[in-house]
A and B are shown apart, each in its own frame.
Chain A
Amino acid sequence: DGGITQSPKYLFRKEGQNVTLSCEQNLNHDAMYWYRQDPGQGLRLIYYSQIVNDFQKGDIAEGYSVSREKKESFPLTVTSAQKNPTAFYLCATKTEFNQPQHFGDGTRLSIL
C-alpha cells in the first residue's frame, strides 16, 4: 500500500535471537497495528497504537514487543520467547474513525 513501508521483505531468525521488523508510514495516520498471518487462520492482532507513546496488547502479544516513539514508526520485535515465529507479519495504519485500515506489503519471517 502506498505510504506504508515494511522492511525487510524476508527475514530469517536463528534460535534464541531477537529480530525487529520495521514499519514506517508517511500517511500522517494516528493509529498503527501489527497483525500476524498464518495459513488458514486469518489475521491475528499482536499490538496496536492509537497515539504516540502509547500502545495496547492484542490477542497474541506474548513473545512480542513494540515501541511508538514517533508517529511515523511502529517497530515490532519478535523475541526469543516467541517459540513459533514463522509467519507473515502485516503492519497497518488508520486515520479517522470511519476510515479503513491500510496495509503494508508485509514481512515474511522464517526460522533458520
Chain B
Amino acid sequence: AQSVAQPEDQVKVAEGNPLTVKCTYSVSGNPYLFWYVQYPNRGLQFLLKYITGDNLVKGSYGFEAEFNKSQTSFHLKKPSALVSDSALYFCAVRDAGNTPLVFGKGTRLSVIA
C-alpha cells in the first residue's frame, strides 16, 4: 500500500527567503506524485505533478519540486517566499494502477513579512 509522510507540521520562513516543504513516499512500482495547496475553508488547488521524465518539476505560482528516487522524496521548493504563500500544503502519491491519491497530513507554511 502507498503512503506519504510530511515530517514537519509547520514551516516558518521570512519573506524573500527560499522555502522547502518536505515529502517522502512509499509505493510499489513507479510513483505518481502531486503537490496541492489549501487556503482556509477552501478546497485543494493543484500545484504540480511528477509522472515521469525530468526530476525537477515546475508548477504554478513559482513552485517547483524535485523527485529523488533513491531517497523516495519529492520536496516542494520556491526560491523566494511571499506572504501570500502562507497556507496548508499537501503531498500525495498513487501507484501506476489508477488508484485514488493517498495524502500526507499536511504542512502549514507561514511566511513572515
Binding site for B on A (CB under 8 A): 1, 4, 6, 33, 35, 40-45, 48, 50, 58, 90, 92, 97-98, 100-106, 108
Chain A residues whose C-beta falls within 8 Å of the C-beta of B44 in the assembled complex: 43, 90, 92, 103
Compute how far the CA of A6 lies from the CA of B101 in the bound complex, rounded to whole angstroms: 20
Q: Judging by beta carbons under 8 Å apart, are A98 and B100 in contact?
A: no
Smallest CB–CB gap between A70 and chain B, Å?
Answer: 20
Main secondary structure of the interface of A (DSSP, over half): strand
Number of B residues whose C-beta is below 8 Å from A? 21
Chain B residues whose C-beta falls within 8 Å of the C-beta of A1 in the assembled complex: 43, 45
- 8 pairs of A and B residues whose beta carbons are closest in the complex: A103-B43, A42-B105, A43-B103, A103-B44, A100-B46, A105-B43, A42-B103, A48-B100
Is B106 close to A, CB under 8 A? yes
- Among candidates A40, A97, A102, residue contacting B46 with C-beta atoms closer than 8 Å: A102
Smallest CB–CB gap between A9 and chain B, Å?
Answer: 8
Interface string of B15-58 (1 = CB under 8 A from A): 00000000000000000101010000111111001010000000
Q: Which residue of A lies closest to B102 (CB)?
A: A45
Known: A1-B43, A103-B44, A108-B41. A43 touches B49 (CB 8 A): no
- Among candidates A44, A45, A98, A106, residue contacting B43 with C-beta atoms closer than 8 Å: A106
Smallest CB–CB gap between B63 and chain A, Å?
Answer: 14
Known: A1-B45, A40-B105, A106-B41. A98 touches B51 (CB 8 A): yes
Q: Judging by beta carbons under 8 Å apart, are B49 and A104 in contact?
A: no
Compute how far the CA of A40 lies from the CA of B42 in the bound complex, rounded to whole angstroms: 16
